[in-house]
Every structure is written in structure tokens, then in C-alpha cells.
Amino acid sequence: MSKKTKNIIICISGRGSNMAAIVKESQSGILKNFAKVQLVYSNNSEAAGLKFAKDQGLQTKCISSKGKKRAEYNQLMLDFFLKQEFDCIVLAGYMRILSNDFVKAFSGKIINIHPADTNEHKGLDAYNWAFENGLKETKITVHHVDEGVDTGTIIEQKKIDISSAKTLEEVEQIGLKVEHQFYSEVLLKLFNSNT
Ligand code: GAR
């Protein structure tokens, strides 16, 4: 493994298409020699992305948040991550708010992708927000994760033209295509400057 290669843990909650794109880039694309996906983590045992990751031969871990009190789940997650060795946690459609203790424990090591300008829309349903507001363009944001919801320092943003989209599905399609490329590009820059 190259000296520069960063060990990453990708956290997902569902489909995992961003995770799959990063896995591909780390195996044979721009992240080869820069990132190794050490583990795919999920809070949802039904996440389609977990099956994809297993089929790829990747290590996976699920701590189901279903039916658990927030504090109990948060503690289990923190305990598990404290036992791992990694350089970076990459949130890719991980739909739970990380606990303050978790963010403090891994301060500066957690990155997220958000499908809007975090200055304008935080939280869920960002493509729906852009669609409902009739936006002609929106932004994809990659940012550091702090204790707030989508309040961390912005690393990079990419503008996307959604003026041709007639449905929410079309907005998502345009956006996801950009996310899949953009996230790896930003991670590459970050890992390259972080040696
Ligand atoms: C992506 O659009 C991602 O940006 C978004 O969820 C989707 C996950 O899709 N994340 C958020 O909204 C976080 N606030 P995926 O599971 O196919 O990567």
C-alpha cells in the first residue's frame, strides 16, 4: 500500500450509490493508491449498499439503530469506531445525526456529501427542496462534519444545472451523477494535501 493511501470507513443508510462510486474509484480509478475502503458501515441492516459491499468482498458492519434508544445506539456506534484504525470517515447517505461525543472523538476526520448548498438548505430532502422551489441550479457540497447538522466547514461545492429536469426523479438523476464523480475528486484533493 502506498504511503499516501488513506484507510477509509464509508457510512451508509440505504442505496449506497455514492459508496459504490468511491469503492470503484479506489479500486481502479482516481482514488487508486490514495484510498482504501477498509469497511462499509450501516445503521440499517436492510441497506441495499451493504449487500453490494459484501458482494464486492468488502468488510461490512451493521449496528442496527432500529428499535434502539438514541443514546444506546450512539454509544454502541462510538464503542465500535473507537476500536477501528482508520484515517477518515466518509459519510455517503448516512441518514443519522452523529452524536457530539462521536464528532469530538474523530474531530477533523469526518467528511459528508450534501446534495444542496449547506448555506441554503440543511438536513433531509435537499433535491426535493430544489425541485419544489423551482431552482434552475443547485449545488452539491462536500464538507467537514461538526456537531451541528450540515454546519461543518465547506471543503468544496459544485454547481449543477437542473433547469432541464421536469420531475424530482430527473433532478436526483442529474445530481447523483455529479455526486458520484465529485465526491471522489474532492477526497483525492483532500488526501493528497494531507500526506
Ligand atoms: C445522496 O444524494 C446524498 O448526497 C444524500 O443522500 C443520498 C444518498 O444516496 N445525503 C444527504 O441528504 C445527507 N444529508 P446514496 O445512498 O445512493 O449514496
- Residue-range domain boundaries for the chain: 6-118+140-159+180-193
In terms of DSSP bridges, do strands 110-114 and 137-144 run parallel, antiparallel, or are they unpaired?
A: antiparallel
Q: What is the pLDDT of residue 129?
A: 98
Exposed / middle / buried, residue 185 (Cβ in 10 Å: 0-12, 13-18, 19+): middle
* Mean residue pLDDT across the chain: 96
pLDDT exceeds cutoff 90 at 3? no
Q: Which of 34, 31, 22, 41 is nearest to 83 (CA)?
A: 41
pLDDT exceeds cutoff 80 at 6? yes
8-39 tens-digit pLDDT: 999 999 999 999 999 999 999 999 999 999 99
60-71 tens-digit pLDDT: 999 999 999 999
C-alpha 3 to ligand 1 mean position (Å): 30
CATH placement of domain 6-118+140-159+180-193: 3.40.50.170
Whole-Å CA distances, 116 to 20, 100, 120, 144: 21, 23, 7, 15
Give the contacts of 96 (CB within 8 A, at least 6 positions apart). 13, 43, 65, 73
- And the C-alpha cell for 79? 464503542
pLDDT exceeds cutoff 90 at 117? yes
Q: How far apart are CA 126 and CA 171, in angstroms?
A: 10
Radius of gyration in angstroms for the set of CA atoms belonging to the chain, rounded to a whole number: 16
Looking up cell 456537531, which residue turns up?
Answer: 147
Tell me which residues have their CB closer than 6 angstroms to ligand 1: 12, 14-18, 49, 92-93, 113-115, 126, 176, 179
pLDDT exceeds cutoff 90 at 194? no
User: Within 13 Å, how many C-alpha atoms sit on residue 31's CB side?
Assistant: 26
Instruction: For the chain, give the longest Cα–Cα distance.
Output: 47
Q: What is the percentage of the chain residues whose pLDDT exceeds 70?
A: 97
Q: Averaged over 97-105, what is the pLDDT? A: 98
Which of 91, 97, 113, 129 is the pocket-test mutation for ligand 1 (most atoms within 8 Å of CB)?
Answer: 113
140-184 tens-digit pLDDT: 999 999 999 999 999 999 999 999 999 999 999 999 999 999 999
Q: How far apart are CA 90 and CA 1, in angstroms?
A: 20
